[in-house]
Amino acid sequence: MELVSVSEAQTLMMKCLGRLSVVSLRLAEALGRALAEPVRARDPVPPFDTSAMDGYALRAADTQSAPVLLRVVGTVPAGSVWPSPLGPGEAVRIMTGAPLPEGADAVIEQERVAIEAEALVRIDEPVESGRHVRRAGEDAQAGSVVLQPGTVLYPGAIALAAAAGRGRLAVYRPARVAVITTGDELLEPEEDLVPGKIRNTNRYLLEALIRNEGAEVVESLAAGDDVRALLEAFVRVLPQADMVLTTGGVSVGAFDCVEKALQKCDFQRVFWRVRQRPGKPLLFGLLAGKPFFGLPGNPVSTGVCFDQYVRPALRYMMGMEPLYRPRLRAILEEAFPAKKVGLHTFLRVRWYPRPDGRIGVRPTGPQGSHITHSLARATALAHLPESWGPVSAGTEVEVELWSAAFDSPPER
């Protein structure tokens, strides 16, 4: 089978995906989910003209010949409504958030007012109409769409939905993902090593990556290199899983069991092997109609393939927009002579703000796909296109920021 490019692989994969079902959740439960409906404001936000200050509501026209004396006819706290229109020469003491009395068109803050007598205040300056007034509908007009479908509900969006008068929202349910690691060499982290064995890194990497995207781990199994055990694992996970991930066993080794097991299943291969590094052996298809990723065995390959393929697939299924992170331009501050023409290379880097205002990036150290440090230290991923050869220091590259954490610029 022909190797495909990174963007061909992503396009082929996206065509195979469907959206998950929609559920109605209370606001308190909706954090991190994607909206499946547009949210409209039930009423204007704010619903009425409101005072932005503790002070005095007045008619701006009355103050144009300041200094003037105004008669204070009462007080309106937040949550109440002043019952009668304000007459000429009158003011109402008003609290922040209280509705502006009818006839009033401005508020003067209480610090700028002199109290002359029991119900008499002196205003020493002309007050302009509209001062310290929050207009009805300034934040949202009644009926207007305040949140679009696809919006991931972070705290600010949840606040806006509450302000718009919605206590429940239609959101996509989280994807249920099954993880199956292959490899007879794998032991669990707490086990003591014996000759020939290593610790299962991918299982925990994938579980963390899945949860990090707001999806759920429905099963996590280690199947060794046994085709029968792998088939049993597929049978076990498929009824509940929306997506199946395996790691290892997809290169061209003699014991590569994933392909052998898939041959015995209802599996439709979409692509196998991508012109990329790390992660060239990546396999994707539909297993019993469900998206299946055969991720390569090396932890860094698994991590990068999850980031570039599984993550956008999960986001699509869970209704989230956008699918991909923005790519920013950055300066690669260290040469990367090992870049091979013909393979899109994902360089794990750390980023920092440069004194010239641009983003600088430096590789995390050795870039071997078995060097877990390169993943653990990375705060961004740099894309070196397929057509590039060795890259010199100072080259502008595209990066995706993985984390808001950044380094200080290095000493020069």
| Site of interaction with ligand AMP (CB under 6 A) | 181, 183, 185-186, 198, 200-203, 247-249, 251, 253, 296-299
Per-residue buried b or exposed e for 183-198, using 16+ beta carbons within 10 Å of the residue's own CB: beebeeeeeeeeeeee
The site partner of 200 among Mg ion, ligand AMP, none (C-beta below 5 to 8 Å per kind) is: ligand AMP
Q: Which residue has the tokens 């349910």?
A: 173
| Closer Cβ to ligand AMP, 171 or 205, answer by number | 205
Site for Mg ion in 146-185 (CB under 5 A): 183
The minimum distance between CB 300 and Mg ion, in angstroms, equals 15
Binding segment (CB under 5 A) for Mg ion, from list 107-115, 167-175, 244-252, 268-276: 244-252
The site partner of 99 among ligand AMP, Mg ion, none (C-beta below 5 to 8 Å per kind) is: none
DSSP string, 303-347: HHHIIIIIHHHHHHHTT-S-SSPPPEEEEE-S-BTTPPTTSEEEE
| Closer Cβ to ligand AMP, 28 or 252, answer by number | 252
Segment holding 94, helix H or strand E: strand 90-94
The minimum distance between CB 186 and ligand AMP, in angstroms, equals 5
Q: For residue 271, what are its two tokens? A: 């692509």
Question: Which residue has the closest beta carbon to ligand AMP?
Answer: 297
Q: Measured between alpha carbons, how far is 330 from 312 in angstroms, rounded to an integer? A: 23
Question: Which residue has the closest beta carbon to Mg ion?
Answer: 248
The site partner of 141 among ligand AMP, Mg ion, none (C-beta below 5 to 8 Å per kind) is: none
Is residue 312 close enough to count as binding Mg ion by CB under 5 A?
A: no
Provide the 10 A C-beta neighbour count for residue 253: 12
The minimum distance between CB 1 and ligand AMP, in angstroms, equals 17
The minimum distance between CB 187 and Mg ion, in angstroms, equals 14
> How far is C-alpha 62 from the chain's CA centre?
52
The minimum distance between CB 226 and Mg ion, in angstroms, equals 11
| Alpha-carbon distance values, 403 to 243, 244, 305, 351, 407 (Å) | 26, 26, 17, 9, 11
The minimum distance between CB 78 and ligand AMP, in angstroms, equals 59
| Alpha-carbon distance values, 122 to 59, 112, 116, 119, 362 (Å) | 14, 9, 6, 10, 65
Contact positions toward Mg ion, by CB under 5 A?
Answer: 183, 248-249
